[in-house]
Structure 1
């Protein structure tokens, strides 16, 4: 029993060690070291917490995000995909070691007289074996290359899950703020409708008294009908916003969900002036790099296919005609059966497989570089949006104040009969439009902050440029 399967497995492991995987070099970043600067971009600012709780400070929004992270079905599928790829990696990694199996069998057979030629005979045989079957000795690293590829694919799926989680957080925040903005627009429309209806009643009384023409009354009624249409549109939009938020959260919303508009302090400010190499820790970029490393490992497997493959089948055990003598002295036996397979002619199949693997790596390099460029653009757009929206909001505030002054003056002049109804209606429309624009601009500014948070990869408190080997679970 000196050549037992355990001895053979140890010998196989000692013989392995060669790898044909090309040395991996991270491609150079195809973007500038710093984000664009200029009048359209925000200057550097302070930082907030590294997680989404540090950015989203509204308690109700935090509650909704927590619920979404627990219940959203898309995120659940992403997590299950990670577990599935992890199982595939464990399956592939198991091929590095021999599969040892034990078997036992027994047989009793009666042969009739017509077969034995003399008299009927009963024969018995029993055996017990321990061995390995068709274990490939990984001399040239083919199995280890495939295992490395499976590992990189698994790590890539984990980054895909992180990316899905980041998108979910941003989408819930976007849906919540959109609902708040539409609710605020709905309340503004209700107040505007009440003012229009009061104006219509005043105009109708003046028309009955002969102070204004029927045209003025018709214009006032037109303003009321237009605002009523806007009211129905915003009622529908608020309902759709709640349906969308319910889908993202993945569970029924709180029954006591308060109706609110956009409020100050909903978001902390995302830091600006960060180095562009911080993009290396964005989950989608890490996912692209893991996919690149998987393609690189696959080249090693394609290279190893050119070399001979050696497989080993071996077993040792005992056999006897009697069950009682199965493990007695002299009943032992073994088999050792190595097999070598040398590719000689395959019509260019192996060469084509290697070329395909190299092309897949080139594709992965281009995809990795495109992911970095896209991320750089998203961050640069976010920084530009922050600065310009702040300037736009300031101007819009001034416009609302000016429109309010115009409305107050026009209403006073109309009531004392100095100006016509046309001037007053124009002031009403201008004020309503300016107030709507202010709400929409505030929403756009908040969503720009959310998009910038997502473009930066969510958490920016980690050390940029962390080695991939340190990030593996």
Structure 2
């Protein structure tokens, strides 16, 4: 054992500094965002509408109904899918910290004691025979073992890969939240629509039940025929079926909301009667919408971070072709007596640099590099595909939205006309001018028009939610 001298300590410090300086060298390929594989704009956008990025509008601002806002807040606090996504972020962050720690030496303090018995009949080569006895040695050192000097950037490339994986996980959480916000809003609007459908069915049943009671009395008095009574009864039974169907559907809608919210939804957070035809947002489609907004969608950013991680992995694969330089060093005290462990002249040190030069590995390094490049190309294709899918999603939502307003306007006009036709036919029936078949036909037309209008109003709300989602909105408060 040798005593540690300051020149030796300076040598170790210089080697560590040199390793840190050389670690700036990296074989990782430079990254440049790939060109977008879609058109610059979508066709058919209305002109003259205020231009604003929906992705920058928080869901608290986008949705008008305060009940829906509170329900979304509750869902974000309790939904299990979002909780899993958040835990995945914590896991990726921890993995990044683990990988990053490899940039620094792991310093350990070691204390050891050794007792050894020697035999007088056994002598070491070149050593005279000694009497049998027990020898002791004590050692206390501080140092690091096999610290890799990242001369060619292998560790930094792996560190960059872990960092980009962490970023991708964060974008996955944002994407999950966007989908969840849109799903909750759609489920809430669906419940409001089914409640409205149930109300229409109940009102129709009540009206037809009253007509049936009047016709029954007329039949008992011999004024009307049994055929007319049975015709009215068929409409009553049909309305009863619809009421039972919509009651079941409302219950299913409640169950779906409870699952999304992560716990039972309180009655005060459910949509009010008549809220199905209220505006859901103050925002409309932006004018001159540029497809560059898709670059900010979380799922697209997730795919890009995965591509950057694969790009960093190429640097690590390239570094495997070059020598691996590592250091092992320790500094401390050693003595044959425990009482003299930290006494004068007991200091010891060791410094053991090593270089591992790859000579032959049957093409393993070259194959690993080829795999890394192919992985990068696969993720590049997936990144481009994610943009194409996002572009189509926006195009589909816009295609539906272009004619929804006209459909709703036409359906409202149809409902008004069918309502007036029902009122006229009912008056003519009561005055004995027409048969009840005319009333049934006009009432059925009015009923269908009411239900179709509710369906179109739901489609309009769901379309706005979808547009907000596909343009990357919903991840901000």
- TM, length-normalised to structure 2: 0.90
SS in 1 for 2:8: coil
SS in 2 for 1:390: helix
1:257-300 deviation line (CA, Å, top 9, x unaligned): 55523142332223322221111111111111001101111111
Of 52, 62, 86, the residue aligned with 1:55 is: 62
Q: CA deviation at 1:335?
A: 2.0
Matching residue of 2:273: 260
Matching residue of 2:187: 175
Change (3 A) 1:81 1:460: closer
Matching residue of 1:317: 332
1:49-89 deviation line (CA, Å, top 9, x unaligned): 71111111101101101111111111111011001001101
Matching residue of 1:154: 166
Q: CA deviation at 1:204?
A: 2.7
Q: Does 1:3 align with 2:8?
A: yes
Alpha-carbon distance between aligned partners in 1 of 2:25 and 2:175, rounded to the nearest angstrom: 36
1:174-197 deviation line (CA, Å, top 9, x unaligned): 111111111111111100111111
Alpha-carbon distance between aligned partners in 2 of 1:201 and 1:150, rounded to the nearest angstrom: 75
Change (3 A) 1:197 1:424: same
Matching residue of 1:456: 471
Matching residue of 2:450: 435
- The answer (yes or no) to whether the contact 2:141–2:332 under 8 Å persists in 1 is yes
Matching residue of 1:237: 249
Q: CA deviation at 1:414?
A: 1.0
Q: Does 1:280 align with 2:295?
A: yes
Change (3 A) 1:346 1:112: closer
Q: Output aligned runs, 1:344-359, within 5 Å.
A: 344-359=359-374
Q: CA deviation at 1:112?
A: 9.0
Matching residue of 1:465: none
Alpha-carbon distance between aligned partners in 1 of 2:115 and 2:365, rounded to the nearest angstrom: 49
Alpha-carbon distance between aligned partners in 2 of 1:279 and 1:3, rounded to the nearest angstrom: 58
Please say which of residues 54-63 and 216-225 is displaced more in the overlay: 216-225
Of 35, 39, 43, the residue aligned with 1:36 is: 43
Alpha-carbon distance between aligned partners in 1 of 2:133 and 2:378, rounded to the nearest angstrom: 70
Matching residue of 1:227: 239
1:278-337 deviation line (CA, Å, top 9, x unaligned): 111111111110011011111111111122222222222220012232233322222222
Q: CA deviation at 1:213?
A: 3.4
Change (3 A) 1:196 1:254: same
Change (3 A) 1:278 1:149: same
Matching residue of 2:126: none
- The answer (yes or no) to whether the contact 1:272–1:383 under 8 Å persists in 2 is no
Of 292, 301, 309, the residue aligned with 1:294 is: 309
Alpha-carbon distance between aligned partners in 1 of 2:221 and 2:243, rounded to the nearest angstrom: 31
Q: Does 1:94 align with 2:64?
A: no
Change (3 A) 1:3 1:174: farther
SS in 2 for 1:95: helix
SS in 2 for 1:311: strand
Q: CA RMSD in A?
A: 2.3
Q: CA deviation at 1:398?
A: 0.3
- The answer (yes or no) to whether the contact 1:152–1:294 under 8 Å persists in 2 is yes
Please say which of residues 257-266 and 90-99 is displaced more in the overlay: 257-266
SS in 2 for 1:10: helix
Q: CA deviation at 1:130?
A: 1.5
Matching residue of 1:45: 49
Q: Does 1:81 align with 2:93?
A: no
- The answer (yes or no) to whether the contact 1:307–1:343 under 8 Å persists in 2 is yes
Matching residue of 2:150: 138
| Gaps in structure 1 of 5+ consecutive residues | 462-473
Of 387, 400, 408, the residue aligned with 1:372 is: 387
Please say which of residues 102-111 and 447-456 is displaced more in the overlay: 102-111
Alpha-carbon distance between aligned partners in 1 of 2:114 and 2:333, rounded to the nearest angstrom: 14
Matching residue of 1:385: 400
Change (3 A) 1:56 1:213: same
SS in 1 for 2:282: coil
Change (3 A) 1:323 1:338: same
- The answer (yes or no) to whether the contact 1:107–1:124 under 8 Å persists in 2 is yes
| Gaps in structure 2 of 5+ consecutive residues | 124-128
Alpha-carbon distance between aligned partners in 1 of 2:299 and 2:403, rounded to the nearest angstrom: 27
Matching residue of 1:124: 136
Alpha-carbon distance between aligned partners in 2 of 1:459 and 1:84, rounded to the nearest angstrom: 24
Matching residue of 1:360: 375
Count of residues in Structure 1 that have an aligned counterpart in Structure 2:
458
